[in-house]
Structure 1
Amino acid sequence: MTAVVAPGPLVRARPAWTSALTGTAGMLRLALRRDRWRLLVWVAGVAVLYLAALGEYAVLADDPRGMQARAVLMRTPAMVTMAGPGYGLDAYTVGAAVANELVLWMVLALAVLSILEVVRHTRAEEESGRSELLRAGAVGRHAPAVAALLLVTAVQAVVAVVTGAVVAAGGGLPAGESFAMTGAVALGALVFAAVALVAAQVAEHGRTATGLSLAVLGAAFAARALGDVQGSAEGRHGSALSWLSPIGWVQQTRVFVDLRWWPLGLCVAATVGLLVVAAVLAGRRDHGGGLVAARRGRADAAASLRGPLAVAWRQQRGGLLWTTLGLGAMWFATGGVLSSLPDMMETLADNPLYAAILGEGDLVRAFLWVIGLYAALGAAAYAVAASLRARAEEQAGRAEYVLATAVSRARWLGAHLAVATVGGVVVLLSGVLALWAGAAATGVTDPAFGELVELGAVYLPALAVLLALGAAVYAWVPRATPLLWALLAWLFVVGMFADLLGLPDWARGVSPYWWVPDPLTEDVDVARLVGLGVVAVVLAAAALVGFRRRDVPAV
Structure 2
Amino acid sequence: MAGTFTGTARLTRLALRRDRIQLPLWIVGTTALLAFTYAAEQEQFPTEADRVTALRTAAESPAILMLRNAPSGITDGDMLAFQILAFLAVLAGFMSILAVVRHTRQNEETGRTEMIGSMVVGRHASLTAAMIVTAGANLLLAALLALTLIGNGLPAGGSIAFGLGVGAAGLTFGAIAAVAAQLSQGARAANGIAAAAIGAAYLVRGLGDAFGEVRPDGYTMTSAWPSWLSPIGWTTLVRPFADDRWWVLVLPVAVFAALLAAAFVLADRRDVGMGMISARPGPARAATALLSPLGLAWRLQRGTLLGWAVAIGLFGVVIGSLAGTVADAFAGNEGAARTIRELGGEGALADSFFTAMLAMVGAMVAGYVVQAMLRVRAEEAGGRAEPLLATATGRLRWLGSHLLVAALGAVFLLLLAGVSAGLVAGLSAGDLSDRLPDLGAAALVQTAPALIMIGYVVLVFGLLPRLAVGLGWLGFAVSLIFGQFGELLNLPQAVRDVSPFSHVPALPSAEVSATPLVLLAVVAVALGAAGLALFRRRDLAL
| TM-score (structure 1 length as normaliser) | 0.84
Other-structure match for 2:486: 497
The match for 1:186 among 138, 160, 167 is 167
Is the Cα–Cα contact under 8 Å of residues 65 and 348 in structure 1 kept in the other structure? no
Query: Does structure 1 retain, via aligned residues, the 8 Å contact 2:55–2:71?
Result: no
**Equivalence for 2:96:** 114
Which residue of structure 1 lines up, in the alignment, with residue 286 of structure 2? 301
Letter in structure 2 aligned against 1:99: A
Amino acid at match of 1:253: V
**Separation in 1, partners of 2:203, 2:335:** 32
Counterpart position of 1:20: 4
Match of 2:460 among 473, 488, 512: 473
Alignment of 1:181-330 (within 5 A): 181-226=162-207, 232=213, 237-330=222-315
Distance 1:189 1:128, change over 3 A: same
* Structure 2 contact 89–169 (Cα < 8 Å) conserved: yes
1:137 pairs with 2:123: no
Output the CA distance in 2 between the equivalents of 1:202 and 1:361: 49
Alignment of 1:510-549 (within 5 A): 510-520=498-508, 522-549=510-537
Distance 1:285 1:262 in 2: 36
- CA separation in 2, counterparts of 1:41 and 1:441? 46
- Mapped to 2, the partners of 1:519 and 1:242 lie a distance apart of 33
* Residue in structure 1 matching 2:81, options 75, 99, 107: 99
Task: Encode CA deviations 1:530-554: one digit per residue, 9 max, x unaligned.
Answer: 3333333343333333322221x13
The Cα offsets for residues 286-344 of structure 1, whole Å up to 9 and x where unpaired, read as 22222333222223322243322222222222222223333454455455263345436
Residue in 1 that maps onto 2:407: 421
Pick one of 451, 459, 462 that aligns with 2:446. Answer: 459
Alpha-carbon deviation of 1:442?
6.6
The structure number with the bigger radius of gyration is 1
Give, in angstroms, the shift of residue 364 of structure 1: 5.8
Contact 1:365 1:520 in 2 (8 A): yes
1:209 counterpart letter in structure 2 = A
Residue 497 of structure 1 aligns to a residue whose secondary structure is coil
Residue of structure 1 in register with 2:22 after alignment: 38
What secondary structure does 1:138 align onto? coil
Alpha-carbon deviations, 1:454-494, whole Å to 9, x = none? 32333323432331232133223324533343433443314
Amino acid at match of 1:30: L
CA distance in 2, matches of 1:23, 1:496: 44
Instruction: Give how far 1:210 is off.
Output: 2.7
- The Cα shift of 1:146 comes to 0.5
Check whether the contact 2:212–2:224 (CA below 8 A) recurs between aligned residues.
Answer: yes
Amino acid at match of 1:205: G
The answer for the alignment partner of 1:9 in structure 2 is none
Is residue 238–residue 248 contact of structure 2 (8 Å, CA) maintained in 1?
yes
Distance in 2, matches of 1:70 and 1:435, equals 27
Aligned equivalents of 1:359 and 1:277: distance in 2? 48
Residue 223 of structure 1: how far off its partner (Å): 4.6
Deviations 1:49-108 (A, max 9, x none): 323432443222426245324333334444444444x253xx544433332443333223
Letter in 2 for 1:70: L
1:156–1:186 CA contact under 8 A, matched in 2: yes
- The amino acid of 1:547's aligned partner reads F
Could you tell which deviates more after superposition, 213-222 or 266-275? 213-222
Identity of aligned residues (%): 36
**What amino acid sits opposite 1:516 in the alignment?**
V
Q: What is the alpha-carbon distance in structure 1 between the residues aligned to residue 509 and residue 224 of structure 2?
A: 42
Matched letter for residue 103 of structure 1 = L
Letter in 1 for 2:486: F
Q: RMSD across aligned C-alpha pairs, in angstroms?
A: 3.4
Letter in 2 for 1:315: L
Instruction: Out of 196-205 and 326-335, give the one that drifted further.
Output: 326-335
1:47 and 2:31 matched:
yes
Q: Distance in 2 between matches of 1:475 and 1:292?
A: 34
1:212 corresponds to which letter in structure 2? I
Distance 2:453 2:194 in 1: 28
Decide which of 367, 370, 381 is 2:367's aligned counterpart: 381
Look up the equivalent residue of 1:178 and give its one-letter code.
S
Letter in 1 for 2:23: L
Contact 1:345-1:363 at 8 Å conserved across structures: no
- One-letter identity of the residue aligned with 2:538: R
| Contact 1:81/1:228 (<8 A) preserved | yes
Instruction: Classify 1:493/1:61 alpha carbon distance in 2 versus 1 (closer, same or farther; 3 Å).
Output: same
3-state DSSP of counterpart to 2:19: helix
1:115-137 deviation line (CA, Å, top 9, x unaligned):
22212111221122110101111
Unaligned stretches of 5+ residues in structure 2: none
- How far does the alpha carbon of each residue in 1:231-268 deviate from its partner, in whole angstroms, 9 at most, with x for none? 54999834555433333333322222222111211211
Q: How far is the alpha carbon of 1:433 from its aligned partner?
A: 4.2
Counterparts in 2 of 1:49 and 1:475: CA distance versus 1, 3 Å: same
Using the TM superposition, give the Cα deviation of residue 379 of structure 1 relative to its aligned residue in structure 2, in angstroms: 2.0
1:143-182 deviation per Cα after TM superposition (whole angstroms, max 9, x unaligned): 1100000111011111112222333445x43232122112
Contact 1:198–1:277, Cα closer than 8 Å, also in 2:
yes
Q: Which amino acid aligns with 1:295?
A: R
Distance 1:39 1:475, change over 3 A: same
Q: How many residues align?
A: 530
| 8 Å CA contact 1:119, 1:197 repeated in 2 | yes
Distance in 2 (alpha carbons) for counterparts of 1:442 and 1:166: 46
Task: Work out the CA distance in 2 between the residues paired with 1:288 and 1:457.
Answer: 41
Distance of 1:437 and 1:158 partners within structure 2:
47
CA distance in 2, matches of 1:254, 1:342: 26
Residue 184 to residue 540, structure 1, CA distance change in 2 (3 Å): closer
Structure 2 residue 381 is the aligned partner of structure 1 residue 391: no
Contact 1:45–1:489 (CA under 8 A) maintained in structure 2: no
Q: Does 1:124 align with 2:114?
A: no
